[in-house]
Structure formats: C-alpha cells, structure tokens
Structure 1
Amino acid sequence: MTGSADSRADSWADDPGLAPWLGDAGPAPAPVVPLRRPTVVPADPTPPRAARPGLLRPPSRRPTAPAMVGGPPTVAPPLSVPPTSPVPSDGYLRDGGAARPVPRRGPRGWLFALSGGRLNPGTSTRELAEQELLGRIRTPLAGWHTVTVASTKGGVGKTTTSALLGLTLAEHRADRVVALDANPDAGNLADRLIGHPATASLRQLLDHDDPDLPASFTEISRFVHDAGRLQVLASDQDAAMSEAFDRDEYRRVLALLVRFFTVVVTDSGTGLVHSAMAGALETTRTLVVTGAPTIDAAGHIDRTLDSLSAHGFDELVRDAIVVLSCDRQARSVDPVALKAHFERRCRAVVAIPRDPHLAEGGRIRLDELRPATRAAARELAALVGDAFAWDFPATTGVDTPGGR
C-alpha cells in the first residue's frame, strides 16, 4: 500500500477509538462534496487498446468532452415566438390537459382518471423525482457494462446487494441483465434469486463440448435460470470445482455472456487475491463495495479500498459505490460521519435499511420488500445507470459473435 494508506490504516485499525466515524471522534466531518455526475460524450471515444489479444479490458479512464476550438461559441439572437395562452391561475387545465405531464399516482392521478383527463393537475414533485430516478436506471447503454459487487468480509450483504441490484435493473430496463455468481466458495446467489437448487451452473457452460456455443439466446438459456426478468448463472456447488474457477475461466464466461446480455452483475468472493477475482476486477466498469455500519465492517471497507488502490485500481475506487447494509448498527458509530467518510473516498454511498424479508435469508422478491428498501435499491441502480452515459462501446478486444 501507499504510505498514506498505511498511516491511515495503522491509526484506527490498531485503535478502533480513532476511527473517523465514531460519535466521539472529534470535530464534525467536513462538508460532503456533491457527487460527480458523469458527462455524456457526444461522440464515441476510441476504446483503450487491449493489453494483449483476446483480453477484455474496461475503459482506462472516463471519456472527456472534446476541446473547444476557436473560442467559445457565439449565441444567436432569440427567435421570435408568438405569444401563448396563459395557464389558468388555479393551475388546472381543462381542454388543454395534454400540455402538462400526466400524473399516474396519488390524488393527482385519481383526479385525472376520474375526470376522464379533463382535469390535469400535473405531476407532483415526488412523482417527477421518481421519473427522473427511473430515467437514470434506463440510461441507454452502448455495448455492455460489468458491475462487480465485492467485499473482503462475509455476512455484510454482498450477495443480497447483488440480488437487489440485478432484480431492480432487470425490472426497469428493456435490455437483458444477468447476475453471475463468481464466488469460488460455492456461492448462494442462485438460492436467493430462484428459491431452489440450480440445475445448471457456470461449470457446465465452461465444459460444454462445442466452444463456439452458445450461439443464440435460446442455447444459453439452458445454462441460466429465470428470476423474473433477471437471468442468473449459478456457481458450482461442488467445493473443489468451485475453487478451481480462475481468472481465465471468468473471462471465458464473461465473453459468452456479453454476446446476449447488456449488463452483467458479478457477485464475487471475499478474497481479493483469488484468481477469479483478478479476472473480475480487470473487466469491471462499476465497482460496488459492501459493508455495514459497525466498527469492524467499516474497517473492512477501508481496507478493501486501500488494497484495490495499492494494486492499481485507483479509478475503480474513486468511482465506486459503497453500500451499507443496515440490518445491524453499532451505537458507537455515527452513521452521518460514516457516510461522509466514504463519500470523500468514493462516488456515492447507499444505505440499505433493515428489512424483514431480506432477514429471512430466502428467495428475494422485490414486491415483498418495504418501500424504503425498494427505494434504496432503485437509488443504487440509478447510480450504476449514471455510468452508462459515459461508458465506452464494448469493443475491447473480445470476439463476441452472434446477436442479442
């Protein structure tokens, strides 16, 4: 690790009382810097060259806006626009109701429906915010996008977060989303998503007789399982076979999946130095790191970020999303200070509230979650969707024949 990372880790890892998120840790945290919103690039940038033939690589940096040539643009005089009829002072439109967005929910939606569309009070601020959130989740994506959910500590919601993210993206997007269980320790992502033992796994996909298959979505559907609109590729439940899953095999699986799926959500293991984890990190475009608002779990998040930075993944760390699973809470941890601490290190922080449905440990169904939990899942999906706007096309040195 770098010197700064070592000094920070030594200061509170050896003495938890010095952690910056503890309630009595001194002065209040510095103001939180607003989250960076990615800039949409008007023209497709040139993707980075692969390190060697056949190597999947994520973009090495965000695309930037083209330099301005010839000074700032001149502004033309405004066009002459004929006057329009003013909106009635009571805020309701009768014959011209279509001029306003149509409300779909709440009292405004009921009024619009009961009046047959003659009375349109417009959408509420809350509904507009929800529409904006869904618009971010549905951001058009050129090529494919990989999301890796990681943690060096078990039991802090890594698999739950992977399931929530995959289900939410699949529910609100029109393209195909797949959740991949790449945990080399016989992961249980499929159990949480389909509710019964998987009948096929990534090992069967890798061991298929014909390396050119699957050549169609119908063929790959033999190896994945349905969880609503989400597709799931399970890990092998044989501990020896699961442990054998390595870096090259992860890349082979990913190369097959991106022929047919636009978004791949990978539930990884807890070992950052495992071979399969190396393959996942090298092809990751959005990193999600999970933890909990406790002293030990928060410390694991910091150590995970420090380790990734020390191994050359600084950009992934800066653009990472930290997810805090709040099914347990340490009284000595200040949640506001904890959130501010990780917002200074990463792009965003999302808190998943305690939910009885998630606590059961069974199959996760979005319609059985509390509203606050579903809202947190949508917020996470929207933050992932923000990265779609500045993503490179998926022409990164991998041969992906076939269609979607």
Structure 2
Amino acid sequence: MTKPPEGQHAPTGSERPPSSLQPPRPRRAYDGDPQEASTPGPPPTAPPTAPPAPRPGGTPQQSGEAAEPSDFDAILQRPVPRQPENAPQSRLRPPEPRATTPAPTERSGPKHAAAGRGFDDHENGTPRAAQDPINQQFTEPGSAVQGDRRADDLRPIAPHLDPRVSHLTDVTPPKRRWFGRGRPIPAELPTNTTSDALTSTIETPRRISVVGLKGGVGKTTSAILLARIIARVRAEPVLLLDSDTTYGSLLLRLGTPPIASAHDIASMGDPGTLDVLRGVIARTNDGVWILPSGRNPAQSAEFGEQTYVAAVRALYRYFSVSVTDCGTGIAGSLMRRVIEASHALVIATSASVDGVLAAHNALDWLTATGHGELASRSIVVMGNVPEQPVIDVAETKRGLEQICHAVVCIPTDPAISPGGYIDFDSLQPATQQAGHALSSLAFGCSLHGGR
C-alpha cells in the first residue's frame, strides 16, 4: 500500500469517492431541500414533481442552490417603519371603522334555535348586546344603538352605587357671607339626641364597646369621651380597656404612661379589693382607670381572647362601667368575645359615603350573626364632621336610625384634630355637648342589655 504524498491525508470513508461496485446513497427531495435518507437502500419510487419555478432572470433554479425566500418571507424581513416621536398629531391617521356584515333576514330550524347567535348577529338592525338586559345596565344612559353602531363602541360605565348611600352626595351648595372674603357659612348639623340615663342606678356592672370597621374614624376619641364623661357625671371609677392588638394610641391620647397591662392583670387574677389596683393600673384625674393591651407593641400583639376574658373576669366587679376600645374590624374570635360580652355598642365611622356604608355593613353583620338586639342598642357616632360635609348628614341620620338606636355627630375640633393629648377642658362647647349625648345614649342602651 502506497502512502499519500507529503502534505496530503488519506481520505476517510465520508470523503472517498463512490466505487463502481457500490452505488451512491439514495437521496430524496423534501420541499426543494435535499436530505439524506435514514437507511441505505434502493432509491424509493417518488411521484413526478413539477419543475422548479423560473427565477426572476429566467434561469431555472439548480438543485444545488438554496431556495430563495418567498414573498411572505420577504415581507417578514422588511423593516417596520416607525413614526417619529416629534411628529405632529395631525399626521397620525385614525383607524378606519370596521364594516359590519348584515345578518341573514331569516333563521329557522332547531339548529339555530338551540345554538343561539354570534357576536355580530343582528335582529331588525339592533345588535344583540343592546337587546341583552344584562349588558344594557353597563351601557351609557340615553344612548341608543342604531344601524351598524356596535354596542362595544359605547363608553362603559360602572354599576350604580349602593342604594343605601347613593343619594347621600346630593348636598346643597353652601351659602357664602357678604363680608369676610366670601367664606361659606357653616352648615347646621342635626341636633344630637340626649338622655338623662347617666344618673340612673345600676344593679350590675355595665360593659360598653367601641368598634370601627376602619382606622382614622375617631374610635379612640369616642371611647375617651365616653369614659371620661361617665366618670365625671357619676363620680365613680370607670375602666377603659384597650383591646387593640396593634398597640393603639389610647395611652398617648390620655397622656398617661403604661404601668400594668392586660397580660399582667390576667396573670395576677382577682385582686380581692380595689385598693390593690391603685398602684398597678394607670389613672386620670377624673376617675378613668386605663388598662392597655400591652406595655409595648410586642406584648400588645400577643393580646387575644384568653387574655381578654381573664382580665375582664378579674376586674369587672370593681367598676360600675367598663369601656372597651377595640381594634379595627369586627371579625375574629377576640372581637366575637368582646361583642358577646357587651351590653351596648358604639360604632365609630366618618362622615363620608364609604364610612356610612361601613356602618350599614356592621349593623347588617350583627343582625346576620344573631346579635340583632345588640344592633338595636348600638349608637353610630360620626366623628370629625366638617363645617361643610360632603354628604347629607341629616339624611344619613334618618337612614341609620331605622336599624340602630341613634346617630351622634361630633364636629371638627382643633383640640382633637392633631391626634395627641386630649384636654377635655379645651374642647369646644359643641364637642362637649356631642360627648354628653353619646355617653348618655350609650349608657342608657346598656341598661336594657342582658346580665
């Protein structure tokens, strides 16, 4: 065997030319692109194929050449023209309206009756979307669909507000003074109903809870006014318990440092006498004893149903009235226990549409969960009512008093708005009158509660 000349290598099996004894491997055509067969053998019989299409120059395409891209491939490879960013708006061409295809005049047979009609079906020139009563309530009022106008071209609108509060925004524009730079005259708020129940004799301790479905509605302010006025009028110690698990602002608004928390009282149990608690529980000058849910946020977060029950059992018989400042919301095992132990309920809300709706929902929830009698002994208090309310306060009062005992409005007060210490003597006369109305009504409702 002779070696190949220097600089050359012996051809491999794939590079050796086919000999006369072995025919070349069969090849098959597939969409103009030759591919090797998977197994060697005699060439399969292929159907006659059409001659290749002539090239643009008139020369037919050879078998060894790559196929030229089709017109569709050329369109895909064509760069998309972009509109310059600084082009004027007038050069932008609006899209042309789509033409609608008229529907057949007659339809018959069980097939069409059972299958229904498509999106573009018309009857008497009116699209189906305009005939559907479900779709009509989302259509612009007063706009009729005619001819080839499609229902989805109309501007959709949201469903109407809750009928319980939808009419409360019809407020008469405020009148303005002739002098004083035309400032608006403050609106007259409805007169708060009062009661003389604060001086009534009680046989067993009463428990009043202040709840709210959202924060920032004056829940803690209402609880402070309620406890301090009852303590001043009755000249008896009143317990103010904080059941907020988020370390609320009760201590801040009263200006007292924390001494003992509900966890400490629950661990200690019944003290046996009120004198034991004098150096344990923080107090105000007017006779309100404050028991926070925790001395710090971490301990307050651990406040739960068992701690509440143990603390109330240890202290309730030493106070004629106990006021609980609850956290946000009325759901959960803790709030269920607080509500079940309450003789009266105060629902704090804001003078707004969503605030009034939240009060409605809270009263409906009480009725649905078997606390209908407690709902009838509930007081809705709207705090921080401005001089020009955004809702009809008188109409709100009439609507809510159909499902609760009374509605009390507390006006905006500079001594309360900052959110710090509440100096009771600095409150405006209207605020003090609203606080007295709230206290007398809530205390009167608690006298009609259970044991």
Q: Give the AA of the match of 1:16.
A: L
Change (3 A) 1:367 1:260: same
Q: Within the alignment, does 1:147 sit opposite 2:208 as a pair?
A: yes
Q: Distance in 2 between matches of 1:191 and 1:301?
A: 26
Q: Within the alignment, does 1:260 sit opposite 2:321 as a pair?
A: no
Q: Distance in 1 between matches of 2:394 and 2:162?
A: 17
Question: Superposed, which structure 2 residues align to 1:184-195 within 5 Å?
Answer: 184-193=245-254, 195=255
Among 269, 275, 282, the alignment partner of 1:218 is: 275
Q: For each residue in 1:230-280, what CA deviation from the matched residue of structure 2 results, as whole angstroms up to 9, or x when unmatched?
A: 111112153343232222221111111212101000000113223221221
Q: Distance in 1 between matches of 2:348 and 2:376?
A: 15
Q: 2:409 aligns to what?
A: 351
What is the SS of the residue equivalent to 1:290? strand
Question: Superposed, which structure 2 residues align to 1:87-126 within 5 Å?
Answer: none
Q: Within the alignment, does 1:333 sit opposite 2:394 as a pair?
A: no
Q: 1:162 aligns to what?
A: 223
The Cα of 1:227 is off from its aligned counterpart by 1.5
Q: Distance in 1 between matches of 2:265 and 2:348?
A: 28
Q: Distance in 2 between matches of 1:163 and 1:233?
A: 13
Q: Give the AA of the match of 2:361.
A: R
What is the SS of the residue equivalent to 2:241? strand
| Pairwise CA RMSD | 2.5
Tell me if structure 2 keeps the 8 A contact 1:17–1:25.
no
Change (3 A) 1:199 1:15: farther
Change (3 A) 1:197 1:327: farther
Change (3 A) 1:306 1:186: same
Among 236, 261, 276, the alignment partner of 1:201 is: 261
Q: Give the AA of the match of 1:198.
A: P
Q: Distance in 2 between matches of 1:134 and 1:310?
A: 29
Q: Distance in 1 between matches of 2:159 and 2:366?
A: 21
User: What TM-score comes out, normalization by structure 2 length?
Assistant: 0.56
Tell me if structure 1 keeps the 8 A contact 2:387–2:412.
no
What is the SS of the residue equivalent to 2:264? helix
Q: Distance in 1 between matches of 2:314 and 2:363?
A: 29
Q: For each residue in 1:70-98, what CA deviation from the matched residue of structure 2 results, as whole angstroms up to 9, or x when unmatched?
A: xxxxxxxxxxxxxxxxxxxxxxxxxxxxx
Q: 1:291 aligns to what?
A: 349
Q: 2:161 aligns to what?
A: 16
Identity %: 30
Change (3 A) 1:270 1:333: same
Tell me if structure 2 keeps the 8 A contact 1:292–1:328.
no
Q: For each residue in 1:119-164, what CA deviation from the matched residue of structure 2 results, as whole angstroms up to 9, or x when unmatched?
A: xxxxxxxxxxxxx968421111111000000011100010000000
The Cα of 1:19 is off from its aligned counterpart by 4.1
Q: Distance in 1 between matches of 2:337 and 2:279?
A: 24
Higher relative contact order (CA 8 A, sep 6+): 1
Unaligned runs of 5+ in 1: 1-12, 27-131, 395-404
Q: 1:382 aligns to what?
A: 440
Q: Distance in 1 between matches of 2:163 and 2:446?
A: 38
Tell me if structure 1 keeps the 8 A contact 2:227–2:240.
yes
Q: Distance in 2 between matches of 1:257 and 1:16?
A: 46
Question: Superposed, which structure 2 residues align to 1:42-61 within 5 Å?
Answer: none
Among 273, 277, 302, the alignment partner of 1:244 is: 302
Q: 1:31 aligns to what?
A: none
What is the SS of the residue equivalent to 1:361? coil
Q: Give the AA of the match of 1:254.
A: V
What is the SS of the residue equivalent to 1:309? helix
Q: Which has the higher helix share?
A: 1
Q: 1:227 aligns to what?
A: 284
Q: 1:372 aligns to what?
A: 430
Q: Give the AA of the match of 2:212.
A: S
